Amino acid sequence: MERYLENENDRLSVTLCGIRLDNPVIAASGTFGYGYEFAELYDINELGTFSFKGTTAKPRFGNPTPRIAETPSGMLNAVGLQNPGVDRVIAEELPRLKAIFHKPVMANVSGFSTEEYAKVCESLDKEDQIGWFEINISCPNVHGGGMGFGTDPRLAAEVTRAVKKVTKKPVIMKLTPNVTDIAEIAKACEAEGADGISLINTLLAMRIDLRTRRPLLANTTGGMSGPAVFPVAVRCVYQVAKAVKVPVVGLGGVASADDVIEMIMAGATAVEIGAMNLTEPFICRDIIHELPETMDRLGIDRLENIIGAAL
């Protein structure tokens, strides 16, 4: 059967919370900075979009070093939300970003209280280039915040409600897999007005140095990412996509065009790529270029036609 598609972009484009993306590939927060380093390597406007570095109200140095450790088919990190704080992001980072990236960008927001999440979103809300808020209630590497909000449906709902009050931009809640029932958390966020759900954040893990007999990370534990977590991420995306009506963004161990297709079939509208950016800086660009051929091989005309195909 002949295809009458105008161009490859028609085949790859998806709509995430009302905003059209040229393709579903999103560089994940914490692995892409504010895009500058990658913009020196290729035109990052090829991306669907990217989620910039997690932002808190005040500057954060992060956790003590060492805070990165290797593991087979992945890595552990305990960076601890190092960032310059929302005021400097607005004054310095966003103007620089606007010069190199000409699409709506996703703002990843973290906090240590419901009030902090709301304050950061309210400060960023007036920035025109921000298309979506990705609210990180799932970071396992900080004390007194982060994942604690994402493991309790009541607290997850509370943060969602507070953020929705201060912005009309789409709010996507980023969830942790370190729970018994991730669909329950997603439904609690949806009930309070979340426009989308992104998952998964990293899996809580640790390694021990056999020579020193001490944990490899100064933080003791960290978040595991990379290809090893991909099957867990697919399972979580599938469960959440079955449970909610809002769009789902899938991430966790994505390393190929085949992985992107699998995530979409599991129910994801868009797909974030994280840890692989650190070892293969061209990975997002290459996957975008490989998607049309992969779709041809699998008999897929448009990516939008296979969202949730496995459900």
CA distance 100 to 147: 32
| Cα gap 270→161, rounded to integer Å | 24
Catalytic residue among 139, 189, 236, 284: 139
Are 233 and 203 within 8 A, CB to CB?
Answer: no
**Which helix (H) or strand (E) element contains residue 272?**
strand 270-273
Measure the CA–CA gap between 138 and 124, rounded to whole angstroms: 20
| Whole-angstrom distance, CA of residue 311 vs CA of residue 307 | 9
Give the β-pairing of 74-77 and 68-71: antiparallel
What are residue 58's phi and psi, to 5 degrees?
Answer: -110, 160
Strands ordered across the beta sheet of 74-77 = 68-71, 74-77, 222-225, 203-205
Task: Please list, in sequence order, all residues whose beta carbon lies within 8 angstroms of the beta carbon of residue 212, skipping any fewer than 6 positions away.
Answer: none
In 40-193, which ranges are continuous DSSP H helix?
86-88, 94-100, 114-124, 153-164, 182-191
146-172 in b/e form (b: 16+ CB < 10 A) is bbbbbbebebbbbbbbbbbebbebbbb
Q: Which two tokens stand for residue 51?
A: 């989620």
139 is catalytic: yes
Q: What is the DSSP letter of 74?
A: E
Among residues 273, 268, 259, the alpha carbon closest in space to that of 304 is found at: 268
Alpha helices in 105-249 (DSSP H): 114-124, 153-164, 182-191, 230-243
DSSP 8-class letter at 144: S
State the catalytic residues.
139
